[in-house]
Structure 1
Amino acid sequence: MTTQAPLGPFPPGDHPGRLARLRQRLAEEGLDALVVTSLVHVRYLTGFSGSAGRLVLTPEDGLLLTDGRYRTQVEEQLQVAGVRGLVEPRVSGLAGQQEALVELLGASGRRVGLEADHLSWSAARRTAELLPEAELVPTTGLVEGLRLVKDPAELARLEAAAHVADQALAEVLGLLAPGHQEREVAEALDHAMRRLGAEDRAFETIVASGPNAAKPHARPGDRVLAPGDTVVVDFGATVDGYRSDMTRTFILGPVGEDLEAAVALVHEAQALGVATVAPGRATGEVDAACRDRIAAAGLAERFEHATGHGVGLEVHEAPAVAAGATAILAPGVVVTVEPGVYLPGRGGVRVEDTVVVTDDGCRPLTRFPKEPVLPL
């Protein structure tokens, strides 16, 4: 095997534009400021990837509060993102950060938004105690809405993450054979992704064989792959913060008519779902394309999860691709399509691709072949 150098360089993201669009959202909501506490959102808006930080954004000012561990990192990352000057780093202990918050937002009559989905009750109460003169407003979806459509810089990272995963699976294909443990395959995949340039896996890798494949989120264990198994492999890579997500199901020899039929059915349903992804379509329509096909085969109760989800800085983010979901797809939105059928005690089948919506449909980011039969 050859060793691949770290991926990139990647085009810079439009962080100044993201801040400007968020300020416009604040104006539309009648807010004087927003305290961004989601670390994912802080990274999306400023490029800062530390494990502690809050962004305070007003129409005129941006303040990134963090501690001394990140004194050098925050300066470097704000500079690279092109927002140094738009966002001022304030590096201090907790007391100093609180002082900065009060200084910027403590005036009477200020309407200050707090990210309701990313702030604990106790943290919200502490903020209220710090800002008794301000009106604190719970907000949802302000930054999430901006993140729905990926810009070219984000798509470049997502494509790189998907490519790493494709390569890694090709490298470990020989381990998907009787005699190897689920855990062995998963560890080999994780190692291959890192060696190929990923900074980490996107989530805990799933390798589930035989009866374990009937569990949608099974953890890889000591079970040894055996003839007659279906093997579900669900995994992804993280590249510069962005994640990929792909599932393939492999067949180790004859598996019986019920599982053979399930394999064919899921592949057909997944193709129908991918064909439905297009601008103007509701994500619920994509789910229905997959779900209706499986239901028509009498296996509706064996498809027990949503058809997909958005992917980006998080492996599960908006929009949901689920029954009745009303989010409207647009060019640049990235979603997964991953129907499955699970037969308890026997095995399971899931096939998943990550796709990006284009002007006239979609294109896959994950490209590993879907042929399920492996030679023994």
Structure 2
Amino acid sequence: MSLLFPREEFAGRVARARSAMADAGAELLLVDHAECLAWLTGFTVSETMYRAAFLLRDGEPWFVLRELDAGPCRDACWFVDIVGFPDGAEPHAVMADEIRRRGLGNARIGADHLSYGFTAATRDRFAALLPQAQFVDLPGASDLLRAVKTPAEIDQIAAAAAIADRAMMAIAERARPGLSPRAAAAIAAACFLENGADTGETGPILPGIGDHEFLHGVMTAQPLAEGDILHVELIPKLRHYGARLMRPVLIGGDERGLTPLAERLVALQDEQFAAMRPGALACDVDAVLRDAVLGESLRRAYDNVTGYTLGLYARTPRPSDFSRVFLPNARWRLEEGMVFHMYTTAGGLGFSETIVVESDGCRRLSSLPRKLLSSTVH
């Protein structure tokens, strides 16, 4: 086995999952959410073919997945009960057979009905295969169980943040007229892979134009000119744990006089960070930044979130975890150990940090200067 975390770490996660099962009255937990699979078992894989892990209220879990993936699963999991099926089998039928074989055909089976793996078709198929079982919803459990990170998880996210720092500086050092977003992405991708990231997927790298419209734009090979802003968002993952970082990178000189706006955005965001303490309401933390940006007319409107959950990322339909977001109507409270991607944008400039909530406040996991970067500013 090559466990990313010690067995004691997984024991704590299992205890948390079993507590949620007890609250829901579930005897067996079905886990098919990619990030929750990694969190609970140590292994995750895409849903090319349906796969799931099963956890009893007492006893070792088991994993059912494609035989092709069974070897890597055995190597990464902290338990040994791995059931592989051939590609010609129907995954749901194999799982139902295993559930019956273990005497659980009439059990109350807990599942997160919000999991993107637990589709209506999956629910209906299991209901047909296990007519004596009762499926119990644990809504949002796949995300909420993982909301508070352990020190070991935070260390993993911090290591990913260090990769983002190196890649951002590698881009800034070459930020001269003629550099294109695609060329900048190539620099970041190489830096990711050279420094141990899971993949070379960089995040959005594109011209900074508008208040927030540029955030999800399309990468181009168009060379940038003197005074342009290159918006760089980096999203390295290390053993599935991700950090995120945004900086505006100035091409050449500050022809448009954007430095004062950059400094003000950073100052307002720093005030928001100061409010990020255990027990704080998310809407109050959000208001510190949002109200100031609007009040000072730095943006005409502010409709997007100012932050969202960070942690595990796998091959899923979503690139970001919005199980906890910072908005004016967000009534949940911050807890020690939560990790977030906090960001703000205006005037083509975007700043963000990976932030961990600690007992006496919060800490950013990047060591990069919080300023408008350029080839002459480090």
TM-score (normalised: structure 1): 0.87
Match of 1:316 in 2: 320
Deviations 1:253-298 (A, max 9, x none): 23435x5554233222211211111111122222111101101112
Equivalent in the alignment of 1:45 = 40
Secondary structure of 1:216's match?
A: helix
Instruction: Report the CA distance between 1:242 and its aligned residue.
Output: 0.4
Whole-angstrom distance in 2 between the partners of 1:236 and 1:74:
25
Letter in 2 for 1:366: S
Change (3 A) 1:180 1:331: same
Q: CA deviation at 1:16?
A: 1.9
Following the alignment from structure 1 to structure 2, what is the Cα–Cα distance between the partners of residues 311 and 260?
A: 29
Poorly superposed stretches of 4+, deviation over 6 Å = none
Per-residue CA deviations over 1:136-190 (Å, capped at 9, x if unaligned) read 2232122322211111221111010000111122223222221111110011101
Alpha-carbon distance in 2 for matches of 1:27, 1:9: 27
The Cα of 1:107 is off from its aligned counterpart by: 3.4
> CA shift at 1:92, angstroms?
2.1
Return 5+ residue gaps in structure 1 as ranges: 1-7, 343-347
- Partner of residue 34 from structure 1, selected from 15, 29, 33: 29
Work out whether residues 202 and 236 of structure 2, in 8 Å CA contact, stay in contact via their aligned partners in 1: no
Match of 1:354 in 2: 354
Q: Distance in 2 between matches of 1:145 and 1:290?
A: 25
**Structure 1's 173 and 375: CA in aligned 2 closer, same or farther, altered over 3 A?**
closer
CA deviation vs aligned residue, 1:296-354 (integer Å, no higher than 9, x gap): 11244343310011111036323212222122112111012201114xxxxx1110001
- Using the size of structure 2 for normalisation, the TM-score is 0.87
Question: Quick check: 1:112 aligned with 2:116?
Answer: no
Provide the C-alpha distance between the structure 1 equivalents of 2:326 and 2:228, rounded to a whole number of angstroms. 29
For 1:20 and 1:9, locate their aligned partners in 2 and report how far apart those are by CA, in whole Å. Answer: 18
C-alpha contact (below 8 Å) 1:273/1:337 kept by paired residues:
no
Alignment match, 1:367: 367
The answer on whether the counterparts of 1:303 and 1:341 sit within 8 Å (CA) in structure 2 is no
Which of 290-299 and 169-178 deviates more?
Answer: 169-178
- How big is each residue's C-alpha offset from its partner over 1:177-228, in whole Å with a ceiling of 9 and x where there is no partner? 2111111001110111111111124x55222225378512123212211112
- Does 2:333 match 1:328? yes
Q: 1:107-161: CA deviations, max 9, x gaps?
A: 33x3222221121111111111111112222321223222111112211110100
Please tell me the root mean square deviation across aligned C-alpha atoms, in Å: 2.3
**Residue number in structure 2 paired with 1:4:** none
Distance 1:171 1:235, change over 3 A: same
Distance 1:170 1:176 in 2: 10
Q: Which amino acid aligns with 1:145?
A: L
CA contact (8 A) 2:307 2:343 kept: yes
**Residue 375 of structure 1, CA deviation:** 5.0
Say which of 203, 206, 209 aligns to 1:205.
203
Relative to structure 1, the CA distance from residue 134 to residue 373 in structure 2 (aligned partners, 3 Å threshold; closer, same or farther) is closer
1:12 matches 2:9: no
Task: Determine which structure has the larger helix proportion and give its number.
Answer: 1
Aligned residues: 355
Gaps of 5+ in 2: 314-318
Q: d(CA) in 2 for partners of 1:125 and 1:301?
A: 47
Percent identity between the aligned chains?
24
Residue aligning to 1:180:
179
Does residue 189 of structure 1 match 2:193?
no
Q: Secondary structure at the match of 2:246?
A: strand
**Residues 1:151 and 2:144 are matched in the alignment:** no
**For 1:38-187, what aligned pairs fall within 5 Å after superposition?**
38-52=33-47, 53-61=51-59, 62-78=61-77, 81=78, 83-84=79-80, 88-93=81-86, 94=91, 95-104=93-102, 107-108=105-106, 110-118=107-115, 119-187=118-186
Cα distance in 2 between the residues matched to 1:105 and 1:128:
17
